[in-house]
Amino acid sequence: MREDYYSIFGKMNYKKPPKGVSISYEGKLKSSDSYVELVQFIVAFANSNSLGIKVYSDPHSHLNRRNNFGEIIHRYEGASKGIMIFLSNNYESDFPLNFEFDDQLYLSERIETQNLTLDNHIFITEILDKVAQFFETFSVDDTGGYWLTKNIDLLFAKTVNHFIFEKLNELRQLQCVEFISKVELKEDYSSEYNSLINAFEAVNTDELNIYVNGKLKSNLEYELFAKSFIDYAKVKNYSYEQFEKSRTYLYRTYLDNNWVEAFHFYNYLGSSKGLLLHFDKEKKCNQSINFEFDNKLILQDTLLNAFETSIVAHIEIIQILKHVEKYFENLIVKDDCNYWETNDIEQLFNNTVIKYKAKKLKEINSNSQQNSDFFQTYF
């Protein structure tokens, strides 16, 4: 599988696979006046597109110039100035496109777009194309291939292939050698687009989730549940928190056992107790598992985004839920990847990849003029 992966990315003009799709851009401004003109242009562009900006200067800056593999190729220490442009008005959650210049008016930046939307990747290349006019020299290295080709199919394929390879690396921890060898990476997935759209509509969400709620059998079962949970965390060397709250507000959607159209909205204000488990970094899981119960021992809705966890973490989350299921009068789990029901790792992988492809396909903005032909064809 390693050889197949490297050969595919070799055909895509990679010496070795970078850490996800990214865009590197560097160059030297024409003059000090060009810096003023650049800032004025970006401010006007941001205002007209409802984007956030931040103009700044730093007398003691440390700049690292990196290639698309994240390797430092040059270090700079000294004064710098620049402007950040955010892809929305949300400064806290948004990842900025940065233009920071040293005292020679030289710029060298890199933005990882693997976890951004495809539409954002395309939009970033459009911004870079507009600001190129202010540079004496300016170059862009887009590992998604879109900067040079304006080919959305190619960008889609490269983004998906990086995601697949990351998931295959996770599966190697489970020693799924036979299964891994069957996985195929493609240079073009356009033949799958129609089926992917149907898959996305079937999911009916932008995310891939594990949704949990239920009710414990009794207070005694809560004590047994807590002890079992803590013992598990200690064996795995995971950090955990046990808590009690005298006053808390819980809002949940309580569904029936068959996950049909029986939605019961339940609001609660009062005391609660529970446990919180934090995965270690090796699991590549940025989330925690929170079991918080009200005074009737009803579990607060627990929602986990499977796109933000590794497959190994996804499997372990389900194992934990199966481990504590015996303490519940009823435990309802909806796993969008169906691993809760099937216990099938290959199906978990395939469902994760299919729904990731569908999600990325729907991220492309149909209102973009450059993407109009693409959407007339597939949507």
Residue 137 confidence (pLDDT) above 80: yes
Mean pLDDT value of segment 194-202: 69
In the numeric block, the tokens 């002890």 are attached to: 227
User: pLDDT at position 2, please?
Assistant: 39
Q: Are 155 and 22 in contact (CB under 8 A)?
A: no
pLDDT tier for residue 105 given thresholds of 50, 70 and 90: very high
User: pLDDT at position 16, please?
Assistant: 46
User: pLDDT at position 335, please?
Assistant: 87
Order of strands, sheet of 209-216, starting from the edge strand that comes earlier in the sequence: 302-305, 209-216, 328-335
Distance CA 162, CA 43 (A): 34
At 301 the three-state DSSP class reads: coil
Q: What is the pLDDT of residues 64-93, one digit of tens each?
A: 776 656 677 778 788 899 999 988 655 544
Residue 266 confidence (pLDDT) above 70: no
Q: What is the DSSP string of 130-192?
A: HHGGGEEEEEEEETTSHHHH--HHHHHHHHHHHHHHHHHHHHHTTT-HHHHTT----S--GGG
Mean pLDDT value of segment 253-268: 51
Measure CA of the first residue to CA of the last residue in the chain; give whole Å.
34
CA-to-CA dists, residue 119 to 86, 148, 341, angstroms: 14, 16, 34
